[in-house]
Amino acid sequence: MLVIIIIAPYVIPVFIQKENVDFSAFRKDIAKFERSLKETTEENKDSFKYKEFDYNNVNRSVAENMLHPFNFNPNNLPAEKWKEMGLSDKQIKIIKNFEAKGGKFFKKEDLKKIYGITESDYTVLEPYISIPDKNKAFDKKEKVIYINDKNTEIIELNSADTTDLKKLKGIGYWYAKKILVWRNKLGGFYKKEQLMEVNGMDSSRYAGFISYVSVNSFLITTININTASFEELKPHPYIGYNIALSIINIRNVHGKFASVSDIKKSALITDKIYEKISPYLTVN
């Protein structure tokens, strides 16, 4: 018996046939599942293609947080003024070396030719660059308006047309159109100071008429952040691609906003940005 017990494990397998298992059906199921998974991934990629993060615009968001531009002429601008706008010491040194060698800025685009000024930096600074055009010919009507020291009435910016705006000191047809273009992009003005963002506006012209304008903020066109789509938010000059995407994502995760201030949950929305965009947003 002891001998049988010892040799049994070696003898028994000889008399037992191994069963052949067919894995072909199992392999087909795996292949079918993998194809289904790939198709679902491709469909989701296409459906949410517009939500892919734009790293180029991230650079602009960083520049917006670091730079604090005001209306300026880059020619012979003191170093402390560049510093005040948020440029680094290295960037300022390069600009001053450029000027020391006789370099001048003849048009806005010349600034982005400066080594160290990134495309994102230029995009943020460009609306505030004002280089006087000595060759620009103003028509007689504009000259008369500019030298006239008297404004006959207060002009409300959010309801004014070009005829109304041309009554202001220093504002002819060209500037009136620029003001209206910027107003339409924003959805209206909530404070007078936004006029300094108008393309080509300079501080001396601004000072000449600012006492004769008013702002009715109730006329601003607002965007409902609880119902607005990504495509409706993105075009606003103060919002753009990344902030619009961030607002949509927060709404998708947390549900509807109880108040406009809830958008501060986004890391992209600093206090400065919130102050700019909040007048144009509503939750009702």
User: Residue 244 belongs to a domain with what CATH number?
Assistant: 1.10.150.320
Task: Give the tokens for residue 220.
Answer: 């601003």
Q: Which of 166, 199, 219 is the last residue of a domain?
A: 219
d(CA 238, CA 280): 9
Mean pLDDT across the stretch 133-153? 45
Looking at the chain, how many residues does it have? 284
Average pLDDT, the chain: 81
d(CA 188, CA 279): 10
Looking at the structure of the chain, the number of domains it has is: 3
Instruction: Report if residue 19 sits inside a domain.
Output: no
Write the CA distances from 231 to 36, 53, 67, 234, integer angstroms.
Answer: 31, 15, 27, 5
Predicted confidence (pLDDT) per residue in 52-94, tens digit: 444 445 555 666 667 888 888 899 888 888 988 888 999 999 9
> What is the SS3 assignment for 142?
helix
Predicted confidence (pLDDT) per residue in 203-239, tens digit: 889 999 999 999 999 999 999 999 999 999 999 999 9
Instruction: Report if residue 262 sits inside a domain.
Output: yes
More confident residue, 272 or 43: 272
Instruction: Report if residue 164 sits inside a domain.
Output: yes
d(CA 265, CA 250): 8
pLDDT of residue 50: 45
Q: Which of 182, 203, 219 is the last residue of a domain?
A: 219
CB atoms under 10 Å from CB of 135, counted, come to 5
| Residues spanned by the domain of 107 | 55-128
